[in-house]
């Protein structure tokens, strides 16, 4: 105790001076680490670095490496020698068709998701009250809480020839409309569940939340007074939307499109269950690495979405999508 003639004003016991010896181990460790930022960061980042660096990047590299091998056409064994033969095979007409088909579907799904998602995200960010916003969040996220496969097979029932949609068309006397749509070339088919249109609808449904949430977050960050400033300077709401809201929300649209685009590019289950039983990239990878045993070609196919995403992001950056970040 330190000597003091006055009693403590609050009448409490004076705090004991802690002797250095009783400092606990964790306390000393904290003190020791405090001055060693580099070591601290190393300890902090070691697990994620190991995971990302070795498991993730490492396996990607192995994939890339494999695509430069080829299989021996007689033995079916992978020959570990550098060759571009697998890549040449990728660009044969049949395989190239698969790539074009997948990329087209991914692009159409992305554009449609943006067109449908933006207004809802805009409403959520600008107009909805706290209660309405919670309901809409729940509405958008709820499908993500149930199994992807359950939702997929539910859609198969909705879209099937004897399914809910054709029943509803019959009940409302709009069978002619459904038939008309199914009669369209390329996107039509015998029924929605075996057409590109049906596959498009399911993709759109499954990935839409991934578009809405980033756009909503981006719109949420646009300060209200920027809109006031724009209209103060004479801009009608339409112009304010084009010149202020859209450019500032664009990073959100790009973020959403990265999800919808890459998820559609890589999916192999939906095209297997719904659609015109034409191959998509994911299915090709699945087939070549499984039944066909052509690991190099599967690897080459796997590299395609990565390359496409790289091109896509570069283009988005060129367009200034990330300027407002």
List of residues contacting other proteins (CB under 8 A):
223, 225-226, 228-236, 239, 243-244, 247-248, 323-324
Closest separation in Å from C-beta 317 to other proteins = 15
Pick between residue 243 and residue 278 the one whose CB is nearest to other proteins: 243
From the CB of 302, what's the least distance to other proteins, in Å? 36
Sign of CA dihedral 181, 184, 189, 195: negative
Which lies closer to other proteins via its Cβ, residue 164 or residue 226?
226
Q: 14 with 1: CB under 8 angstroms?
A: yes
CA proximity to 109, closest of 13, 222, 187? 187
Beta carbon nearer to other proteins, 160 or 249: 249
> From residue 229, how far is each of 130, 220, 226, 233, 236 by CA, in Å?
25, 17, 5, 6, 11
Contact 2, 14 (CB under 8 A): yes
- Provide the minimum distance between the beta carbon of 233 and other proteins in the complex, in angstroms, as a whole number: 4
CB of 316 to other proteins, least distance (A): 15
- Nearest distance from C-beta of residue 210 to other proteins, angstroms: 24
Name the strand (E) or helix (H) holding 78: strand 78-79
Residue 237 half-sphere exposure toward CB, CA atoms < 13 A: 0
| Shortest distance (Å) from residue 260 CB to other proteins | 24
Choice between 116 and 227, CB closer to other proteins: 227
Cβ atoms of 218 and 246 closer than 8 Å: no
Q: Between 7 and 234, name the residue whose CB sits nearer to other proteins.
A: 234
For the chain, how far is it from start to end, CA to CA, in angstroms? 57
- Judged by beta carbon, residue 252 or residue 266, the one nearer other proteins is 252
């Amino acid at each position: 105790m330190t000597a003091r003639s006055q009693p403590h004003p609050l009448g409490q016991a004076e705090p004991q001076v802690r002797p250095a010896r009783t400092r606990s181990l964790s306390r000393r460790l904290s003190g020791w680490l405090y001055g060693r930022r580099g070591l601290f960061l190393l300890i902090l980042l070691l697990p994620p670095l190991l995971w990302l660096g070795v498991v993730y990047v490492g396996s990607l590299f192995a994939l890339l490496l494999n695509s430069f091998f080829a299989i021996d056409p007689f033995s079916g064994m992978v020959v570990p020698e550098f060759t571009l033969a697998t890549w040449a095979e990728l660009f044969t007409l049949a395989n190239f068709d698969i790539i074009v088909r997948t990329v087209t579907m991914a692009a159409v799904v992305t554009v449609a998701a943006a067109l449908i998602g933006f207004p809802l995200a805009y409403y959520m960010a600008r107009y909805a009250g706290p209660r309405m916003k919670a309901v809409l969040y729940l509405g958008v996220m709820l499908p993500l809480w149930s199994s992807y496969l359950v939702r997929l097979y539910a859609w198969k029932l909705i879209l099937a020839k004897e399914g809910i949609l054709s029943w509803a068309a019959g009940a409302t006397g709009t069978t002619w409309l459904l038939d008309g749509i199914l009669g369209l070339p390329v996107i039509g088919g015998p029924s929605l569940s075996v057409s590109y249109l049906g596959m498009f609808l399911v993709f759109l449904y499954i990935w839409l939340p991934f578009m809405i949430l980033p756009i909503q977050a981006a719109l949420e960050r646009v300060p209200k007074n920027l809109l006031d400033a724009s209209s103060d300077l004479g801009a009608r709401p339409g112009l304010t939307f084009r010149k202020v809201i859209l450019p500032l929300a664009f990073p959100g649209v790009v973020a959403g499109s990265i999800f919808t685009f890459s998820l559609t590019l890589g999916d192999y289950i939906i095209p297997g269950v719904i659609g015109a039983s034409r191959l998509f990239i994911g299915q090709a990878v699945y087939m070549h690495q499984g039944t066909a045993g052509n690991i190099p070609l599967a690897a080459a196919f796997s590299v395609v979405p990565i390359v496409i995403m790289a091109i896509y992001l570069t283009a988005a950056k060129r367009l200034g999508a990330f300027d407002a970040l």
